[in-house]
Structure 1
Amino acid sequence: MTINRKLKLSSVALTLMALLSTSCQSVLDQEFRSELGPEFFATAGGLEGGITASYSIMRFFWGSEGFTYTANAGTDESILGASDGDRTYFEYANILPSNGNITGIWNNAYQAINNLNGVLKFGPSANIDAARRTTLLAEAKFLRAFYYFELVKTFGDVPLSLQFIDVPTTSAARAPIADVYAAIIKDLTEAIQELPNTATPSKGRAAKPAALHLLSKVYLTRGWSAAAQPTDFQNAYTTAKQLIDNQATYGVGLEQDFANVHREGNEYGKEVLFVVDRNTDPSYAESQFNNSPQIANGNKENRSNFFWVSLYTNALNVNAGISGAPNNTIAVMDRDLRNGRPFRRFRPTNYTLNTAFGDRANDSRYFKTFQSAWIFNRTVPVTTSRGTLAVGDTAIWMPGVEVTEAQRRAFKGVIIAPSQYTADLHPTMTKYAAVNRLTVNESSYRPYILFRLADTYLLAAEAYIKDNKPAEAATLINAVRQRAAYRATNTAAQNTAAAAALTITPAQATIDFLLDERTRELYGEYVRWQDLVRTQTLKTRLERYNPTPGFRDFHVLRPIPQSQIDLTTTGPKFPQNPGY
């Protein structure tokens, strides 16, 4: 399918969407393309295209700046850097129903859902190989469940439409979360029966591992909610264990080295279950590389490589801590591809640095999550009171601990200890570093990892804890922690000793410990706000680790977009979430 046809299909989907679904004023302005009407979904190209378009919509979420705020800001893990980024989500006080980022979640999810409803209505009659048709329809069920899960986690009760809408309507009603969860579970249960064991040609397509992981998380999340069923936690760990216990069948497994999980070029590695596909092909990149008019505002670019980067170009050669030594205001680094574009939207909290990542002797993940050294890259050497920096020297060092004057005197470059961290200068999180770009200011072509197996282990452990099975939970947590002990530079004996030191007992397997472990393993992976909402700990963790005066109890849900309320003009008024 060409990119042009894909774009046309998206336009048709927008045309046919109901106001119930989109609440988007621009729906009424769309041009109807008669050559690609609803029956197009019944053709081989239409069936393939409907699925492709629905995957593509994920790029409005993972990698976009607005969604990044909604997923990571206002938690115990991250605070705002020195940039001019959106403070709204960090401070909570000004989250409004008119917020475009929240409206984007609603509109884009419902656009995908109506595409998928069309696929599931017309696709069964498509003239296409029967096995391929079965797989595509299973992917449609997976994707519809995926988008509804994002909606119910974000907004609570939401409109539930499982039928293709081709006539706009001005009426809408919210379905109880119990009904939404039931629909999600039905779709995923059926999809698991029909999806292949492994994804082809990339892990950007749903396969059984992704569906099992998602279904486990759905059961777990419902189990914490007002719609909980008695067997939810048991179903959550049983489903996760189906994946964990049969990982060889599904072609997945934990990486030996945590450093390889997010290594550039390993986005389809063995630990990965599902990604948002991206690369330099214009059909997938949707970045500045191809200047696609579809994304002129950057909403589908993957800018994750920018958001976490410190202002390393402003690290001046100030000999802090060396009494009587002169200051030198020459910067020791230039901006380059390897170190990235310093948007500094996010920086780690003291909790993240000192509590979650407090053990750095046995646990290797701190130095595999955060950059601690910057190698001198200026074309002209820089002379300090301690020597001359040339290419290959360490220009900036963030050791993660305080240092002595003697250590500073022995180091030619700039040492930035924790007491010197600022909103500009702080450890850079490196999971999304993208060296393979054409220019330094260019967004990333890397696929975005959405689901991975270590998370499956931790979700299962959470379910075991909730089902009063701490021994089983500890076993799964220990599998993740013992992997974290591995360092390629260690001897086998040293790695064994570190793994033993990180092994926990069943008594330690608590929700509080698990949340710390999720920070160590999943920091910055767009799950923290929902983790804290799911486990009903958002308020207490903020109070303990990141006091946020603007937070109120109702902030565990986002506001219903004002456009949805305004465009519901027939029947009962569309209700807003409490507090907004």
Structure 2
Amino acid sequence: MKKIQKHIKTWMKVALMTLLLTSCADLLDEQPRSNFEPGFFETEAGVLGGLTSMYAHLRYIYGQAYYYNTCQTGTDEVTYAQSADQNFLVMDLSGQGVIDASNSRADVVWSTAFSNINTASGVIKFGVEAGVSAELIAEARFFRAFDYFLLVQTFGGVPLDLGSGELEFNTNPVRTSVRNTVSEVYTKAIFPDLIAAVNDLPEVGRLTGTATKTLARLYLSKAYLTYAWWLENPNNIPTYPDVQRVDPDGHDAQWYFQQAYNVALEGINNPGPFGLQETFYDVNFAPNDRNNELLLYADHTQNSEFYNGGSLTYGSGGAPDNFAGWMMTWNYTVIRSSSSSSQWANDIESVRRAAEQAIGRPWTRMCPTIGAITNTFADKANDSRYDGTFTTVYRANTDKSPSIGGPIYNANMMEVQAGDAILTFLDEDPGQPITYPTPTSLGGNIGAGILPGRSDFVIAPSGVSRIVYPGLWKLGPYRTDSGDGLGQPNAGSTRPFNIAKFSELYFVAAEAAAKGATGPQSARDLINVIRARAGKWSWDNNENQERIEDNSSAMVAATPATVDVNYILLERSREYFGEGYRWYDLIRTQKWNELAGTYMIGGRNYGDHTPQTVIRTIEPHHYLRPIPQGQMDSMEGDNESYQNPGY
């Protein structure tokens, strides 16, 4: 089957002027664009061109590190790291700055989504008139709903009229805008488009990676679930534009929770070519990218810069590069070993930057909280997901060209070889005290600790800091063109950035069941499918060796008798840690302040292993991001009422 990747570059330069004037703003100068005319969509070739641009637009959101930061920093999973700039500091809500319309990097969504929505509206309107197949039109309907769903979660109510009428294709830029309510966005745009997509999309995509019934069912169930929470509003979080939380179709929150359950279960029971991978490791193992658990991704390739949409040798630090994985990668290249066995020489760079999944390019902008390591991933023996999420062992790669010859000595002045552990983040605080020597250079130049009889430096979970912490293995780079060398670690990742997974159908159904939906499978039944899979091991990243072990029974037995929303959120974090889900999970369930109002982390300096408790100030208005300043500046008249309150 041909891959959609082949067609992306041709059309990724083509986008639309919309009501919102984003084509004139500095925010999108990096994305070339021109106009679609209505006649363009009246042929199948034109529709295919428009659709290809819709897949290409995913690259400008997913893998874009500054938007990725808004989805993670400030949650119970992630805080800012030592080298964070203001983009990251303000998102933490811990006194490092204030989120406003100018610095909130949710502008990435606003400036990208509306252009794509307008393209989709053109395909839908003129493609239908030209007799283009319902399956192709359904792809456009999916993407219009996809973008509106992302927008309404992020900003609240957004405009359905881009200048030519609600959900109409627009070719004339205008300088006014009216925001629809949240309920209108769901009931007029998101639900109708996704229902049509479910009906008309094929079970098997027309190309590898294109939209299918299963994908549409996932998003329809997620939209029902999210809207149900919005209607219920358990913590009285304000909405905007301000409106009574009454469904125009007369349904209550419980009806929508039930719909979410029903649609998700339909997706599980009618998977088409999709399903769960055998182990959690298999899902995120780079050589197994684009496996059958993945329903949607922003694609990239190492085979061609033309089709990749970015350089294969250096990273631009901007879209459409996939550079999100750099953010939670600390500067491990500072680690030093010794060429001398008699005195600490501190002169061997034993872990060098390489285009390998366990390491990659360091930026030190984001780091996991201590609680994520100790509480979220409390079970590291049975549950494979901690090992399949983080890089916890940094190994010598001195054999890579240009190789480093001669003996190398590490902790306790013990000799190490290529492939041996140089630094290990321990699973638990050990029973015996760790010696953290001073000066920090005696701890491998990073203030790491020493345990008797071990050649690797060590850091306990309680010693994780903003400058030294486990990296995010699951988003690490992967290349097959490195030969015997270090490859191209400075380029953006050529891996796809995963957006939607089959596994989430189980989580959506479980959450709906925990909120009262009824059916053949309980919340516990559904979560245990995921937990049973998490107990199956095929490989141990920490030990760097095969591990054929099945702890499914222990995982299922450990599941509480009553699975509530908080437990489901813990499971979601274990399954999707660092993938950009967390902020949306916390605002949907209105659990953000409850679960992320405080966190623990060490300081910014090497050798700082004293955990600090940090308090966040999460206000109700933070549950919506500000409308970007570029949008506000583009509109005529007094637009104060357009902005979300609190900003």
Answer whether TM exceeds 0.5 for this pair: yes
Q: Is the 8 A contact 2:93 2:616 kept in 1?
A: yes
One-letter amino acid of the counterpart of residue 626, structure 2: P
CA drift of 1:575 comes to: 1.8
Distance in 2 separating the partners of 1:30 and 1:310:
30
Match of 1:236 among 260, 284, 301: 260
Match of 1:152 in 2: 152
**1:192 Cα offset (Å):** 0.8
Alignment partner, residue 223 of structure 2: 218
Deviation (angstroms), 1:557: 0.2
Question: In 1, are the aligned partners of 2:510 and 2:526 still within 8 Å (CA)?
Answer: yes
Question: Partner of 1:268: helix, strand, or coil?
Answer: coil
CA shift for structure 1 position 574: 4.9
- 1:520: which partner in 2? 574
Assess, with a 3 A threshold, how the Cα gap between structure 1 residues 181 and 23 changes in structure 2: closer, same or farther: farther
Retained in 1: the 8 A contact 2:260–2:512?
yes
Which amino acid counterpart does residue 408 of structure 2 have in structure 1? V
Find out whether 1:434 has 2:477 as its counterpart. yes
The equivalent residue for 1:543 is 597
Q: Which residue of 2 aligns with 1:102?
A: 106
Letter of the 1:24 partner, please give it.
Answer: A
Amino acid at match of 2:273: G
CA positional deviation for 1:179: 0.7
5+ residue gaps, structure 2, are: 1-5, 162-166, 232-244, 399-403, 435-449, 482-486, 539-545, 601-613
Give the 3-state SS of the residue equivalent to 1:578 in structure 2: coil
Aligned-residue CA RMSD (Å): 2.9
Kept after mapping to 1: 8 A contact 2:8/2:53: no
Residue of structure 2 equivalent to 1:350: 370
Measure how far apart 1:432 and its partner are. Answer: 1.1
Alignment of 1:316-395 (within 5 A): 316=336, 329-330=346-347, 331-338=349-356, 339-378=359-398, 379-380=404-405, 381-384=407-410, 385-395=412-422
Residue type at the aligned position of 1:454: S
> Match of 1:392, SS?
coil
> What is the Cα deviation at residue 251 of structure 1?
1.3
Pick closer, same or farther for the CA change 1:416–1:200 going to 2, 3 Å: farther
Cα deviation, residue 125, structure 1: 3.9
Query: What SS does the corresponding residue of 2:147 show, helix, strand or coil?
Result: helix
Give the direction of change, closer, same or farther, for the CA distance of 1:158–1:326 in structure 2 (3 Å limit). Answer: same
> Which residue does the alignment assign to 2:608?
none
Say if 1:232 and 1:422 are closer, same or farther in 2 by CA, change over 3 A.
same
Do residues 481 (structure 1) and 531 (structure 2) align? yes
1:463 maps onto 2:480 in alignment: no
Report the equivalent of 2:605.
none
Aligned residues: 556
| 1:30-49 paired onto structure 2 within 5 Å | 37-49=37-49
The 1:3/1:540 distance shift into structure 2, 3 A limit, reads closer
* Other-structure match for 1:277: 299
Of the structure 1 ranges 370-379 and 54-63, higher mean CA displacement relative to structure 2 is found in: 370-379
Structure 1 pair 460–89 and aligned structure 2 pair: CA distance change class (3 A): same
Distance 1:270 1:104, change over 3 A: closer
1:565 aligns with 2:567: no
Per mean C-alpha deviation after superposition, the further-off stretch among 24-33 and 116-125 is 24-33
Q: 1:58 touches 1:276 (CA, 8 Å); kept in 2?
A: yes
Q: Are positions 1:575 and 2:645 aligned together?
A: no
8 Å Cα contact 1:315/1:333 also seen in 2: yes
Partner of residue 321, structure 1: none
Correspondence for 1:176 among 173, 178, 181: 181
Does structure 1 retain, via aligned residues, the 8 Å contact 2:159–2:177? Answer: yes
Separation (CA, whole Å) in 1 of partners of 2:23 and 2:316: 21
Q: TM-score if structure 1 supplies the norm length?
A: 0.88
Q: Aligned equivalents of 1:549 and 1:399: distance in 2?
A: 28
Identity across the alignment (%) = 31
User: 1: CA distance between counterparts of 2:555 and 2:93?
Assistant: 39
Q: Measure how far apart 1:516 and its partner are.
A: 0.9
Question: What TM-score comes out, normalization by structure 2 length?
Answer: 0.80
> What's the CA shift for 1:435?
2.5
Q: 1:297 to 1:348 in 2, by over 3 A?
A: closer
Question: 2:427 corresponds to which residue?
Answer: 400
Aligned partner (choices 91, 105, 112) of residue 116 of structure 2: 112
C-alpha distance in 2, partners of 1:32/1:466? 45
1:397-452 CA distances to partner (integer Å, 9 max, x unpaired)?
A: 22222344698232223222224322221111111111216512111111111111
The residue correspondences of 1:40-189 to structure 2 (distance < 5 A) are: 40-85=40-85, 86=87, 87-91=89-93, 93-99=97-103, 101-126=105-130, 133-161=133-161, 162-182=167-187, 183-189=189-195
Asked if 2 retains the 8 angstrom alpha-carbon contact of 1:286 and 1:301, the reply is yes
Deviation at 1:288, TM superposition (A): 2.0
Structure-1 separation of matches of 2:278 and 2:9: 42
Q: Structure 1 residue 261: deviation in Å?
A: 0.6
Q: Structure 2: how far apart are the matches of 1:192 and 1:23?
A: 35
